[in-house]
C-alpha cells in the first residue's frame, strides 16, 4: 500500500482548512451577528427623578401594544445591575406592561451602615422609601399607570417588607408583588394577606429565606402567594422572551391584568 508523502497530507489539510474558512466568511457576510456588534436597543427612556432629599435615574420602558395592561416598578438592590433585568423590562413592555427599572442600592458607606442598622431594627431605609415614593409618583402622575406591580430583585427584602407593611403603601400603590432572587428573609406576617405575590428563585438550591417564606405563607394563610423554583438556564439571546420573563408575564396575566383602577382608588 502506498503511503502518502507528508507534504501531500499537509497540502490536503491546508486546502480543506482554507475551504472551511471561506465558508465561514461567506456565512458571516450574509448573516452578520448584529447583536454582538451593536449595543442592544431596548427602546427605553432614561429619566432623572428628583425629590427634596435624593436625585436618581430610572429607565422607563413604554408599552408597545397600544392596549396597556398595567405598570411594573422593577426595583433592584444589587450593584452592578444584572444584565437580564433589562430584558425582562423589555419583554413586559412589548406585551403591554409599561416598566420602570430603578436601582435602590446605597453607595455612600456611612449611609450603608445606617441602612443596615435600620433594617435590623425594622425601620427601613429613608432613602429606599423616598426612591420608591418618587418612582410611584412618576408612574402614576406622569405615565398614567395606576395598576402597579412591584417587582423586587436582589437582597432588599428587609426594605420591601418594611415599606409594604404600611397599609397606605401596599394597598393603594401596588396590586401585586413579585420577588425575584431576593436572597433574604423577612417575616410575611405584617403584609396584607390579600396581596397577590410571586416568589421566584432561580438557584438550584433556594436559600433559607425562600423556604421560610413558604412556611409563613401557609401559616398566615396567604392564599394568593405562589412560590416557583425556576433554576436558571444559559441564555445566549436577548431582546426576546426567555423562560423567566415568560413566567413573570404569565403570572401578571393571571393575577393582575384586567384590573380597572383610577386616580382616586390609587390615592393620587
CATH code of the domain containing 100: 3.40.50.1820
Same domain, 69 and 27: no
Quickly tell me which residue has 451577528 as its cell.
33
Same domain, 190 and 261: yes
Residue 198 has a pLDDT of 95
Same domain, 129 and 162: yes
How high does pLDDT run on average in the chain?
77
Interatomic CA distance for residues 77 and 98, integer angstroms: 20
Residue 43 has a pLDDT of 78
Same domain, 88 and 172: yes
Is 61's pLDDT higher than 90? yes
Task: Indicate the range of 56-60, 105-109, 221-225 predicted with least confidence.
Answer: 105-109
Q: Look at residue 90 and give its three-state secondary structure.
A: helix
Q: What is the CA radius of gyration of the chain?
A: 24
The torsion of the CA quartet 28, 32, 33, 36, rounded to 10 degrees, works out to 110
Is 74's pLDDT higher than 80? yes
Q: Alpha carbon of 187 to those of 123, 258, 259: distances in Å? A: 14, 30, 28
Interatomic CA distance for residues 60 and 89, integer angstroms: 9
Same domain, 14 and 108: no
Same domain, 19 and 64: no
Same domain, 15 and 121: no
Same domain, 18 and 109: no
Is 128's pLDDT higher than 60? yes
Query: Which segment, 13-17, 37-41, 73-77, 179-183, is predicted with the most confidence on average?
Result: 73-77
Same domain, 193 and 260: yes
Residue 32 has a pLDDT of 40
Interatomic CA distance for residues 110 and 112, integer angstroms: 5
Tell me the average pLDDT across 84-104. Answer: 91
Q: Look at residue 152 and give its three-state secondary structure.
A: strand
Same domain, 110 and 226: yes
Is 107's pLDDT higher than 50? no
pLDDT band at 31 (very low <50, low <70, confident <90, very high): very low
Cβ contacts of 2 within 8 Å, gap of 6 or more: none
Contact 67, 96 (CB under 8 A): yes
Total domains in the fold of the chain? 2
Is 37's pLDDT higher than 50? no
Is 166's pLDDT higher than 60? yes
More confident residue, 79 or 50: 50
Domain extent for 69: 36-266
Interatomic CA distance for residues 168 and 166, integer angstroms: 6
Same domain, 22 and 96: no
Q: Alpha carbon of 219 to those of 103, 182, 188, 215, 232: distances in Å? A: 32, 21, 10, 6, 29
Interatomic CA distance for residues 58 and 145, integer angstroms: 16
pLDDT band at 219 (very low <50, low <70, confident <90, very high): very high
Query: Which segment, 2-16, 22-36, 189-203, is predicted with the most confidence on average?
Result: 189-203
> Nearest Cα to 158, choosing from 206, 191, 136, 134?
191
Residue 89 has a pLDDT of 93
CA 158 to chain centre: 18
Same domain, 80 and 62: yes
Amino acid at each position: 500500500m502506498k503511503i502518502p508523502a507528508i507534504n501531500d497530507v499537509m497540502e490536503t489539510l491546508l486546502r480543506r482548512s482554507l475551504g472551511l474558512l471561506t465558508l465561514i466568511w461567506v456565512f458571516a457576510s450574509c448573516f452578520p451577528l448584529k447583536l454582538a456588534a451593536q449595543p442592544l436597543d431596548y427602546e427605553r427612556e432614561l429619566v432623572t427623578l428628583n425629590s427634596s432629599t435624593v436625585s436618581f435615574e430610572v429607565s422607563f420602558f413604554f408599552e408597545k401594544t397600544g392596549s396597556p395592561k398595567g405598570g411594573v416598578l422593577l426595583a433592584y438592590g444589587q450593584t452592578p445591575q444584572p444584565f437580564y433585568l433589562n430584558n425582562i423590562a423589555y419583554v413586559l413592555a412589548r406585551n403591554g406592561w409599561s416598566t420602570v427599572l430603578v436601582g435602590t442600592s446605597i453607595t455612600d458607606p456611612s449611609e450603608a451602615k445606617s441602612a443596615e442598622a435600620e433594617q435590623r431594627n425594622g425601620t427601613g431605609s429613608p432613602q429606599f422609601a423616598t426612591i420608591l415614593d418618587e418612582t410611584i409618583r412618576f408612574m402614576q402622575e406622569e405615565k398614567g399607570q395606576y395598576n402597579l406591580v412591584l417587582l423586587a430583585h436582589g437582597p432588599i427584602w428587609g426594605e420591601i417588607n418594611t415599606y409594604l407593611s404600611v397599609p397606605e403603601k401596599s394597598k393603594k400603590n401596588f396590586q401585586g408583588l413579585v420577588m425575584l432572587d431576593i436572597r433574604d428573609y423577612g417575616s410575611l406576617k405584617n403584609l396584607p394577606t390579600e396581596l397577590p405575590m410571586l416568589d421566584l428563585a432561580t438557584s438550584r438550591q433556594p436559600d433559607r429565606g425562600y423556604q421560610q417564606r413558604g412556611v409563613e405563607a401557609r401559616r398566615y394563610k396567604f392564599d394568593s402567594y405562589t412560590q416557583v423554583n425556576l433554576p436558571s438556564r444559559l441564555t445566549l439571546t436577548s431582546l426576546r422572551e426567555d423562560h423567566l420573563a415568560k413566567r413573570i408575564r404569565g403570572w401578571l396575566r393571571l393575577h393582575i391584568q384586567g384590573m380597572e383602577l383610577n386616580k382616586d382608588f390609587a390615592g393620587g
